[in-house]
Structure 1
Protein backbone atom coordinates (compact mmCIF):
# COMPACT_ATOMS: atom_id res chain seq x y z
CA UNK A 1 0.00 0.00 0.00
CA UNK A 2 1.46 3.35 -0.97
CA UNK A 3 1.89 6.19 1.51
CA UNK A 4 -1.12 8.08 0.09
CA UNK A 5 -3.43 5.06 0.36
CA UNK A 6 -2.17 4.39 3.90
CA UNK A 7 -2.91 8.00 4.90
CA UNK A 8 -6.42 7.82 3.38
CA UNK A 9 -7.15 4.61 5.29
CA UNK A 10 -6.01 6.18 8.55
CA UNK A 11 -8.14 9.27 7.87
CA UNK A 12 -11.20 7.06 7.26
CA UNK A 13 -10.58 5.20 10.53
CA UNK A 14 -10.15 8.46 12.47
CA UNK A 15 -13.59 9.57 11.20
CA UNK A 16 -15.05 6.49 12.93
CA UNK A 17 -13.46 7.22 16.32
CA UNK A 18 -15.03 9.18 19.16
CA UNK A 19 -13.30 12.36 20.29
CA UNK A 20 -10.27 11.82 22.50
CA UNK A 21 -9.40 8.35 21.17
CA UNK A 22 -6.07 8.16 19.33
CA UNK A 23 -5.43 5.91 16.33
CA UNK A 24 -2.15 3.98 16.62
CA UNK A 25 -2.33 1.72 13.54
CA UNK A 26 -4.74 0.60 10.82
CA UNK A 27 -4.32 -2.26 8.36
CA UNK A 28 -6.43 -4.22 5.83
CA UNK A 29 -6.97 -7.83 6.97
CA UNK A 30 -8.58 -10.91 5.44
CA UNK A 31 -8.40 -14.67 5.50
CA UNK A 32 -7.46 -17.13 2.77
CA UNK A 33 -10.11 -17.92 0.19
CA UNK A 34 -11.54 -21.45 0.50
CA UNK A 35 -10.20 -24.50 2.27
CA UNK A 36 -6.81 -26.11 1.84
CA UNK A 37 -6.98 -29.19 -0.38
CA UNK A 38 -4.21 -31.02 1.51
CA UNK A 39 -6.66 -32.26 4.14
CA UNK A 40 -9.03 -33.95 1.67
CA UNK A 41 -8.96 -37.67 1.05
CA UNK A 42 -9.44 -39.25 -2.35
CA UNK A 43 -12.93 -40.44 -1.43
CA UNK A 44 -13.94 -36.92 -0.42
CA UNK A 45 -12.93 -35.61 -3.83
CA UNK A 46 -14.96 -38.26 -5.69
CA UNK A 47 -17.78 -36.78 -7.79
CA UNK A 48 -19.92 -39.82 -6.89
CA UNK A 49 -19.91 -39.04 -3.19
CA UNK A 50 -22.98 -37.13 -2.07
CA UNK A 51 -22.10 -34.57 0.54
CA UNK A 52 -23.84 -31.62 1.98
CA UNK A 53 -21.78 -28.48 1.87
CA UNK A 54 -20.21 -27.97 5.27
CA UNK A 55 -20.87 -24.69 6.99
CA UNK A 56 -17.81 -23.10 8.41
CA UNK A 57 -17.97 -23.01 12.18
CA UNK A 58 -16.39 -19.95 13.84
CA UNK A 59 -12.96 -20.91 15.12
CA UNK A 60 -12.82 -24.14 13.09
CA UNK A 61 -10.52 -22.90 10.35
CA UNK A 62 -6.74 -23.21 10.44
CA UNK A 63 -5.12 -20.18 12.06
CA UNK A 64 -7.76 -19.77 14.79
CA UNK A 65 -7.61 -21.27 18.25
CA UNK A 66 -9.93 -20.72 21.17
CA UNK A 67 -13.24 -21.46 22.82
CA UNK A 68 -16.43 -20.52 20.91
CA UNK A 69 -16.87 -17.18 22.72
CA UNK A 70 -13.18 -16.28 22.99
CA UNK A 71 -11.90 -12.97 21.61
CA UNK A 72 -10.02 -14.51 18.66
CA UNK A 73 -12.95 -16.71 17.59
CA UNK A 74 -15.35 -13.75 17.80
CA UNK A 75 -12.96 -11.63 15.70
CA UNK A 76 -12.52 -14.45 13.17
CA UNK A 77 -16.29 -14.62 12.72
CA UNK A 78 -16.19 -11.10 11.25
CA UNK A 79 -13.14 -11.53 9.00
CA UNK A 80 -13.89 -12.05 5.31
CA UNK A 81 -11.88 -13.40 2.38
CA UNK A 82 -9.39 -11.38 0.38
CA UNK A 83 -12.11 -10.26 -2.02
CA UNK A 84 -13.88 -8.46 0.87
CA UNK A 85 -11.18 -7.31 3.34
CA UNK A 86 -11.80 -5.58 6.66
CA UNK A 87 -9.83 -2.87 8.46
CA UNK A 88 -8.18 -3.79 11.75
CA UNK A 89 -7.40 -0.72 13.82
CA UNK A 90 -5.52 -0.31 17.08
CA UNK A 91 -6.19 2.76 19.18
CA UNK A 92 -4.91 3.77 22.57
CA UNK A 93 -8.04 2.15 24.08
CA UNK A 94 -9.43 -0.54 21.74
CA UNK A 95 -8.87 -3.02 18.94
CA UNK A 96 -11.50 -2.44 16.23
CA UNK A 97 -12.60 -4.29 13.13
CA UNK A 98 -14.25 -2.01 10.58
CA UNK A 99 -15.93 -2.86 7.29
CA UNK A 100 -16.55 -0.58 4.33
CA UNK A 101 -20.13 0.59 4.61
CA UNK A 102 -22.54 1.94 2.08
CA UNK A 103 -23.64 5.50 2.62
CA UNK A 104 -24.58 6.32 -0.97
CA UNK A 105 -24.66 4.78 -4.44
CA UNK A 106 -21.15 6.11 -5.05
CA UNK A 107 -19.91 3.97 -2.16
CA UNK A 108 -21.11 0.85 -3.98
CA UNK A 109 -18.82 1.72 -6.88
CA UNK A 110 -15.87 2.76 -4.69
CA UNK A 111 -15.87 0.78 -1.42
CA UNK A 112 -12.30 1.92 -0.72
CA UNK A 113 -13.55 5.49 -0.27
CA UNK A 114 -16.87 5.17 1.62
CA UNK A 115 -17.55 5.23 5.36
CA UNK A 116 -16.37 2.46 7.68
CA UNK A 117 -18.77 0.59 9.99
CA UNK A 118 -17.77 -0.99 13.30
CA UNK A 119 -18.10 -4.80 13.13
CA UNK A 120 -16.22 -5.88 16.28
CA UNK A 121 -14.28 -4.35 19.15
CA UNK A 122 -12.48 -5.27 22.35
CA UNK A 123 -10.47 -3.37 24.96
CA UNK A 124 -6.81 -2.89 24.01
CA UNK A 125 -5.85 -4.73 27.20
CA UNK A 126 -7.45 -7.97 25.89
CA UNK A 127 -4.66 -8.25 23.30
CA UNK A 128 -1.56 -9.82 24.88
CA UNK A 129 0.71 -10.06 21.83
CA UNK A 130 0.91 -9.32 18.14
CA UNK A 131 3.57 -11.04 16.05
CA UNK A 132 4.41 -11.57 12.41
CA UNK A 133 4.60 -15.18 11.24
CA UNK A 134 5.51 -15.92 7.63
CA UNK A 135 4.14 -12.57 6.48
CA UNK A 136 0.89 -12.93 8.45
CA UNK A 137 -0.30 -11.11 11.55
CA UNK A 138 -0.95 -13.27 14.62
CA UNK A 139 -2.99 -11.74 17.44
CA UNK A 140 -2.83 -13.45 20.85
CA UNK A 141 -5.51 -12.59 23.39
CA UNK A 142 -5.36 -12.67 27.18
CA UNK A 143 -8.00 -15.45 27.27
CA UNK A 144 -5.50 -17.80 25.55
CA UNK A 145 -7.07 -17.63 22.08
CA UNK A 146 -5.31 -16.47 18.91
CA UNK A 147 -6.04 -15.72 15.26
CA UNK A 148 -3.72 -15.42 12.25
CA UNK A 149 -4.70 -12.96 9.51
CA UNK A 150 -3.56 -12.11 5.99
CA UNK A 151 -2.26 -8.54 5.79
CA UNK A 152 -0.10 -6.39 3.53
CA UNK A 153 3.36 -7.34 4.83
CA UNK A 154 4.67 -3.79 4.73
CA UNK A 155 1.93 -2.59 7.11
CA UNK A 156 2.32 -5.22 9.90
CA UNK A 157 4.95 -3.39 11.97
CA UNK A 158 2.62 -0.93 13.81
CA UNK A 159 0.63 -3.87 15.18
CA UNK A 160 3.69 -5.85 16.19
CA UNK A 161 4.99 -2.92 18.24
CA UNK A 162 2.51 -3.09 21.11
Structure 2
Protein backbone atom coordinates (compact mmCIF):
# COMPACT_ATOMS: atom_id res chain seq x y z
CA UNK A 1 0.00 0.00 0.00
CA UNK A 2 1.44 3.37 -0.95
CA UNK A 3 2.07 6.14 1.54
CA UNK A 4 -0.75 8.27 0.13
CA UNK A 5 -3.22 5.84 1.74
CA UNK A 6 -1.38 5.39 5.05
CA UNK A 7 -4.01 7.54 6.78
CA UNK A 8 -6.55 4.78 6.15
CA UNK A 9 -4.82 2.48 8.62
CA UNK A 10 -5.70 4.64 11.62
CA UNK A 11 -9.41 4.03 10.91
CA UNK A 12 -9.10 0.25 10.95
CA UNK A 13 -10.28 -1.92 13.82
CA UNK A 14 -7.55 -3.93 15.63
CA UNK A 15 -8.46 -7.19 13.84
CA UNK A 16 -9.16 -5.60 10.43
CA UNK A 17 -6.94 -5.87 7.33
CA UNK A 18 -6.75 -3.27 4.57
CA UNK A 19 -7.15 -5.01 1.19
CA UNK A 20 -7.16 -2.07 -1.23
CA UNK A 21 -7.64 1.68 -1.48
CA UNK A 22 -8.26 3.92 -4.46
CA UNK A 23 -9.11 7.56 -5.14
CA UNK A 24 -12.77 7.80 -6.16
CA UNK A 25 -14.85 10.62 -7.56
CA UNK A 26 -18.00 11.28 -9.50
CA UNK A 27 -18.23 12.60 -13.03
CA UNK A 28 -19.21 16.24 -13.01
CA UNK A 29 -21.67 15.67 -15.86
CA UNK A 30 -20.25 18.50 -17.94
CA UNK A 31 -19.49 18.39 -21.63
CA UNK A 32 -16.13 19.42 -23.07
CA UNK A 33 -17.53 22.95 -23.52
CA UNK A 34 -18.05 23.20 -19.76
CA UNK A 35 -21.85 23.08 -19.83
CA UNK A 36 -24.09 20.08 -19.57
CA UNK A 37 -26.67 19.34 -22.24
CA UNK A 38 -29.41 20.13 -19.74
CA UNK A 39 -27.90 23.59 -19.13
CA UNK A 40 -27.86 24.28 -22.88
CA UNK A 41 -31.46 23.17 -23.36
CA UNK A 42 -34.10 25.86 -23.87
CA UNK A 43 -36.41 23.72 -21.71
CA UNK A 44 -34.15 23.97 -18.66
CA UNK A 45 -36.47 26.47 -17.00
CA UNK A 46 -39.46 24.15 -17.29
CA UNK A 47 -38.03 21.32 -15.22
CA UNK A 48 -35.17 21.50 -12.78
CA UNK A 49 -32.08 19.40 -13.38
CA UNK A 50 -31.94 16.90 -10.47
CA UNK A 51 -28.76 17.02 -8.46
CA UNK A 52 -29.79 15.13 -5.34
CA UNK A 53 -28.24 11.80 -4.38
CA UNK A 54 -30.13 9.06 -6.16
CA UNK A 55 -31.08 11.36 -9.04
CA UNK A 56 -27.59 11.48 -10.50
CA UNK A 57 -26.49 9.42 -13.45
CA UNK A 58 -24.65 6.32 -12.25
CA UNK A 59 -26.58 5.99 -8.96
CA UNK A 60 -29.39 3.47 -8.73
CA UNK A 61 -31.42 2.96 -5.59
CA UNK A 62 -33.98 4.43 -3.24
CA UNK A 63 -32.96 7.36 -1.01
CA UNK A 64 -32.20 5.08 1.96
CA UNK A 65 -30.10 2.61 -0.07
CA UNK A 66 -26.39 1.99 0.44
CA UNK A 67 -25.45 3.32 -3.02
CA UNK A 68 -27.23 6.62 -2.42
CA UNK A 69 -25.64 6.86 1.03
CA UNK A 70 -22.19 6.35 -0.47
CA UNK A 71 -22.89 8.83 -3.28
CA UNK A 72 -23.72 11.56 -0.74
CA UNK A 73 -20.06 11.55 0.29
CA UNK A 74 -18.42 11.31 -3.15
CA UNK A 75 -17.32 14.54 -4.83
CA UNK A 76 -16.06 15.50 -8.29
CA UNK A 77 -12.49 14.89 -9.45
CA UNK A 78 -11.32 18.19 -7.98
CA UNK A 79 -12.07 16.84 -4.46
CA UNK A 80 -11.70 13.03 -4.64
CA UNK A 81 -12.38 10.66 -1.76
CA UNK A 82 -10.50 7.54 -0.71
CA UNK A 83 -12.50 4.35 -1.19
CA UNK A 84 -10.99 1.69 1.04
CA UNK A 85 -11.82 -2.00 1.08
CA UNK A 86 -10.98 -4.09 4.14
CA UNK A 87 -11.76 -7.67 5.02
CA UNK A 88 -14.72 -6.35 7.09
CA UNK A 89 -15.89 -3.01 5.66
CA UNK A 90 -16.10 -0.66 2.70
CA UNK A 91 -15.04 2.86 3.74
CA UNK A 92 -15.15 6.35 2.25
CA UNK A 93 -12.60 8.77 3.70
CA UNK A 94 -11.92 12.41 2.91
CA UNK A 95 -8.99 14.70 3.49
CA UNK A 96 -9.67 17.09 6.34
CA UNK A 97 -9.25 20.70 5.42
CA UNK A 98 -7.08 22.15 8.15
CA UNK A 99 -5.26 25.43 7.79
CA UNK A 100 -2.83 25.05 10.66
CA UNK A 101 -1.53 21.51 10.06
CA UNK A 102 1.04 20.59 7.43
CA UNK A 103 -0.44 17.12 6.93
CA UNK A 104 -4.00 16.43 5.94
CA UNK A 105 -5.33 13.44 7.87
CA UNK A 106 -8.22 11.42 6.54
CA UNK A 107 -11.67 11.54 8.12
CA UNK A 108 -14.15 8.69 7.92
CA UNK A 109 -17.26 9.82 6.00
CA UNK A 110 -19.19 6.60 5.31
CA UNK A 111 -18.91 2.86 5.87
CA UNK A 112 -20.82 -0.36 5.35
CA UNK A 113 -20.12 -4.01 6.19
CA UNK A 114 -18.20 -5.87 3.49
CA UNK A 115 -21.01 -8.44 3.41
CA UNK A 116 -23.33 -5.71 2.04
CA UNK A 117 -21.07 -5.25 -1.01
CA UNK A 118 -22.44 -7.80 -3.45
CA UNK A 119 -19.95 -7.19 -6.28
CA UNK A 120 -17.49 -4.71 -7.76
CA UNK A 121 -16.54 -4.54 -11.42
CA UNK A 122 -14.47 -2.35 -13.70
CA UNK A 123 -16.35 -0.88 -16.63
CA UNK A 124 -13.42 0.52 -18.60
CA UNK A 125 -11.92 4.01 -18.57
CA UNK A 126 -11.43 3.86 -14.81
CA UNK A 127 -15.09 3.37 -13.96
CA UNK A 128 -15.89 1.22 -10.93
CA UNK A 129 -19.38 -0.18 -10.41
CA UNK A 130 -20.36 -1.24 -6.90
CA UNK A 131 -23.47 -3.38 -6.44
CA UNK A 132 -24.94 -3.75 -2.97
CA UNK A 133 -27.05 -6.45 -1.35
CA UNK A 134 -30.05 -4.08 -1.08
CA UNK A 135 -30.26 -3.94 -4.90
CA UNK A 136 -28.68 -0.49 -5.25
CA UNK A 137 -25.62 0.34 -7.34
CA UNK A 138 -23.25 3.23 -7.96
CA UNK A 139 -20.61 3.89 -10.62
CA UNK A 140 -17.52 5.88 -9.61
CA UNK A 141 -14.49 7.21 -11.44
CA UNK A 142 -11.07 5.96 -10.30
CA UNK A 143 -7.53 6.03 -11.69
CA UNK A 144 -7.20 3.05 -14.05
CA UNK A 145 -4.12 1.67 -12.27
CA UNK A 146 -5.83 1.91 -8.89
CA UNK A 147 -8.95 0.21 -10.23
CA UNK A 148 -7.12 -3.02 -11.01
CA UNK A 149 -5.65 -3.27 -7.50
CA UNK A 150 -9.02 -2.42 -5.90
CA UNK A 151 -10.79 -5.17 -7.84
CA UNK A 152 -8.16 -7.70 -6.76
CA UNK A 153 -8.59 -6.72 -3.07
Short-chain TM bin:
0.7 to 0.9
CA contact (8 A) 2:94 2:108 kept: yes
Among candidates 87, 91, 105, match of residue 92 of structure 1: 87
Among candidates 97, 101, 105, match of residue 96 of structure 2: 101
Give secondary structure in 2 for the equivalent of 1:15: helix
Normalized against structure 2, the TM-score is what? Answer: 0.85
Which residue of structure 2 lines up, in the alignment, with residue 154 of structure 1? 145
Unaligned runs of 5+ in 1: 1-5, 108-112
Offset of residue 90 of structure 1: 0.3
Question: More deviation in 34-43 or 12-21?
Answer: 34-43
Offset of residue 75 of structure 1: 0.3
Give secondary structure in 1 for the equivalent of 2:27: coil
Compare CA radii of gyration and give the structure with the larger one: 1
Higher helix share: 1
Which ranges of 4 or more aligned residues in structure 1 deviate by more than 6 Å? none
Offset of residue 40 of structure 1: 5.8
Which residue of structure 2 lines up, in the alignment, with residue 59 of structure 1? 54
Which residue of structure 2 lines up, in the alignment, with residue 3 of structure 1? none
Offset of residue 64 of structure 1: 0.6
Offset of residue 19 of structure 1: 1.8
Task: Let me know the Cα RMSD of the aligned residues.
Answer: 2.3
Kindly tell me the number of residue pairs found equivalent between the two proteins.
148
Mapped pair 1:133 → 2:149: no
Give secondary structure in 2 for the equivalent of 1:57: coil
